[in-house]
Amino acid sequence: MVQTTLAALRELIAGYEVGQKLPNEKDLADDLNVSRASVREALGVLANEQVVTRRWGAGTFVSPTPVAAMLSMSEIQSYRDRVEAQGRTVTLLDATCEPVALSGGVAEELAVPEGTAGWLVSRLFAVDGMPSASMDEHVPLDLMGVKIDPLPMLSVEWDLFRMLRHHLPDLVQHTVTDLSAVAARGVDAERLAVRQGDPLIRGDQVTYGAGDVPLAVGVSLQRTDRVRLRITR
């Protein structure tokens, strides 16, 4: 019910001006035909996303669009879905897909011998036309006896999770992501159009199937001025 209320509130807010006050919780609940508790929880989510500002004793007001998109890490979603949920536009500036020999930590995370052949999909994303994130994702050539074709990921419409589920429905069970702050260096700085030494968020992610079978290993680098991460526990 909260997700339905969230969607309805986003649609409602789209018709308001920045700084305009929303109706109170009771009126919103009546207008949307939902419970007041659902409205309160949904407004809390929107406040966390900086879509609205809640002022004690004054009400809820539409906030200006933040410079950086807020990304929720509370559920499995693609980068595009997370960003576009904030009203931003995501495009793919560059994408390549090639077979490689899996080495080092990648082979270890995927529980395969070093040198095993796999796929490397590299993509560069833009948010509202500005380079925002680069992602390198390694996937085995086959999973559970099914040959994997990652070529659809060269389109912004396809992400890793959709590609894996296309081959084997209900395959993806959970992901584990380690986040760290790093400095932009070399070609990474050039691709993301930042200065050498500028701060980036690095994400090392492993995607798992049933029984904690590793399915994919990815590394992302994200500009801190284009996106911000929010982890809700």
How would you write 157-217 as a 3-class SS string? Answer: CCCHHHHHHHHCCCCCCEEEEEEEEEECCHHHHHHCCCCCCCEEEEEEEEEECHHHCEEEE
Strand partners, 120: 98, 138
- Residue 173: what pLDDT? 85
C-alpha distances out from residue 166 to 74, 79, 140, 162, 224, Å: 23, 18, 15, 6, 32
pLDDT in tens, the chain (233 residues): 667 888 888 889 888 999 999 999 999 999 989 998 888 888 887 887 778 888 888 889 998 876 555 554 445 567 887 777 777 889 999 999 999 999 989 999 999 999 999 999 999 999 989 999 999 999 999 998 999 999 999 999 999 999 999 998 888 888 888 989 999 999 999 999 999 999 999 999 999 988 889 999 999 999 988 766 655 54
- Residue 68: what pLDDT? 55
- Residue 214: what pLDDT? 93
- Identify whether the C-beta of residue 173 lies closer than 8 Å to the C-beta of residue 207: no
d(CA 133, CA 138): 17
C-alpha distances out from residue 40 to 1, 6, 130, 164, Å: 12, 10, 34, 36
- Identify whether the C-beta of residue 75 lies closer than 8 Å to the C-beta of residue 232: no
- Identify whether the C-beta of residue 59 lies closer than 8 Å to the C-beta of residue 141: no
- Identify whether the C-beta of residue 135 lies closer than 8 Å to the C-beta of residue 218: yes
- Residue 84: what pLDDT? 77
Displacement of CA 140 from its chain's centroid (Å): 22
d(CA 231, CA 233): 7
- Residue 106: what pLDDT? 94
- Residue 77: what pLDDT? 66
Using the 8-state DSSP alphabet, how is residue 153 labeled? Answer: G
d(CA 34, CA 47): 19
Characterize the bridge pairing of strands 142-143 and 227-230. unpaired
- How many C-beta neighbours within 10 Å does residue 221 have? 21
C-alpha distances out from residue 127 to 39, 63, 69, 90, 143, Å: 29, 20, 9, 5, 32
